[in-house]
């Protein structure tokens, strides 16, 4: 665990970690209970990094922290899990809001119950509309997509397909919508291929779409969960060099492909911080009464050269990037 001691030293240096609460109503860290209830399974390559951040923050502070998620993307089940977590009366709850309509009652219910609530990953706006006052994640999924679309347009890549592996996740919808709007002024645009998280399904549906649409210049995965299966597909079908491949989020597989000169870029959300930062802040609130006064934006960052990819590959393989 090479990374944790560095964080521990930095946290200790600025007095982030409480040892014993010193005011009435505040707690010792070991007595603090926090629920992290998100839509992404810890087996997902993106969310496994979030969980690593959660686990490292729990180890650093000594607090009792649970990572809770549906087995598959299911916002109805996600809402139920939030309700169940609220019923245990934790000292804080951290949620993602992939479908505001499905989660509104559960999130506002947590706030009404007096539980400090923070939002990660899924854009700050839905949380703010529900009364959540702190967000950790990318500046905007729509804006991230728009930046990517403008970049592709400058490179002359105008016919792009979005591979969406979590249909119903508004964040992924916003990514593709932004991508489309970034391409539009140059005469470009996107279409969506809806797939399941199953790697075989991602490959079959993408291959079928590309066979039927030879005009496609770029394939843009809406997350590493979709990008990872596309890399071997592109190799097997000798598509690298013919069609550009991009992705939101990164993984060791994505970085390896960028290092090899295959994929064009991945957009890094630094999602480790989405797990680490809010847990630290929740513990600080329970132990000292501190509450952050501004959101924390963790991305997007373009990882677009072999050198840049290689520089963070070691950390990615350790589950930190």
- Mean pLDDT of the residues in the chain: 92
Calculate ∠ Cα 89-92-97, nearest 5°: 105
Topology, domain 3-138+270-298: Rossmann fold (3.40.50)
Q: 269, 247, 268, 272: which is closest to 257 by C-alpha?
A: 247
- What residues does each domain of the chain span? 3-138+270-298, 141-268
Model confidence pLDDT, tens digit, residues 237-262: 999 999 999 999 999 999 999 999 99
- How do residues 52-84 score in pLDDT, each as one tens digit? 999 999 999 999 999 999 999 999 999 999 999
Nearest in space to 231 (alpha carbons), one of 247, 211, 209, 213: 247
Closest CA to 95 of 130, 60, 63, 64: 130
Helix (H) or strand (E) holding 218: strand 218-221
Q: What is the pTM of this model?
A: 0.85
Judge contact between 31 and 84, C-beta under 8 A: no
Topology agreement, domain 3-138+270-298 and domain 141-268: yes
For position 123, what pLDDT does the model report?
83
Lowest mean pLDDT among 86-95, 168-177, 252-261: 168-177
User: Whole-angstrom Cα distance, residue 151 to residue 183?
Assistant: 8
The CATH architecture of the domain made up of 141-268 is 3-Layer(aba) Sandwich (3.40)
């Amino acid at each position: 665990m090479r990374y944790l001691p560095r964080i521990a030293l930095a946290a200790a240096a600025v007095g982030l970690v409480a040892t014993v609460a010193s005011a009435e109503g505040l707690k010792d860290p070991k007595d603090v209970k926090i629920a992290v209830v998100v839509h992404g399974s810890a087996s997902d390559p993106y969310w496994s990094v979030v969980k690593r951040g959660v686990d490292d923050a729990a180890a650093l502070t000594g607090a009792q922290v649970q990572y809770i998620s549906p087995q598959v993307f299911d916002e109805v089940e996600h809402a139920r899990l939030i309700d169940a977590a609220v019923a245990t009366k934790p000292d804080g709850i951290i949620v993602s809001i992939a479908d505001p309509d499905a989660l509104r009652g559960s999130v506002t219910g947590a706030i009404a119950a007096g539980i400090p609530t923070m939002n990660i990953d899924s854009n700050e706006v839905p949380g703010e509309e529900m009364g959540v006052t702190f967000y950790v994640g990318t500046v905007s999924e729509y804006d991230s997509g728009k930046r990517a679309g403008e970049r592709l347009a400058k490179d002359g890549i105008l016919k792009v397909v979005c591979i969406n592996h979590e249909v119903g996740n508004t964040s992924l919808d916003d990514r593709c919508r932004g991508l489309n709007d970034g391409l539009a002024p140059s005469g470009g645009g996107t279409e969506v291929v809806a797939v399941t998280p199953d790697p075989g399904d991602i490959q079959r549906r993408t291959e079928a779409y590309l066979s039927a649409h030879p005009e496609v210049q770029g394939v843009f995965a809406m997350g590493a969960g979709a990008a990872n299966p596309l890399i071997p597909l592109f190799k097997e079908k000798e598509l690298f060099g013919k069609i550009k491949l991009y992705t939101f989020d990164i993984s060791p597989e994505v970085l390896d492909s960028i290092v090899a000169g295959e994929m064009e870029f991945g957009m890094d959300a630094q999602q480790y911080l989405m797990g680490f930062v809010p847990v630290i802040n929740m513990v600080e609130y329970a132990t000292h009464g501190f509450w952050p006064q501004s959101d924390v934006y963790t991305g997007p960052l373009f990882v677009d050269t072999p050198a840049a990819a290689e520089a963070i590959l070691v950390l990615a393989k350790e589950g930190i990037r």
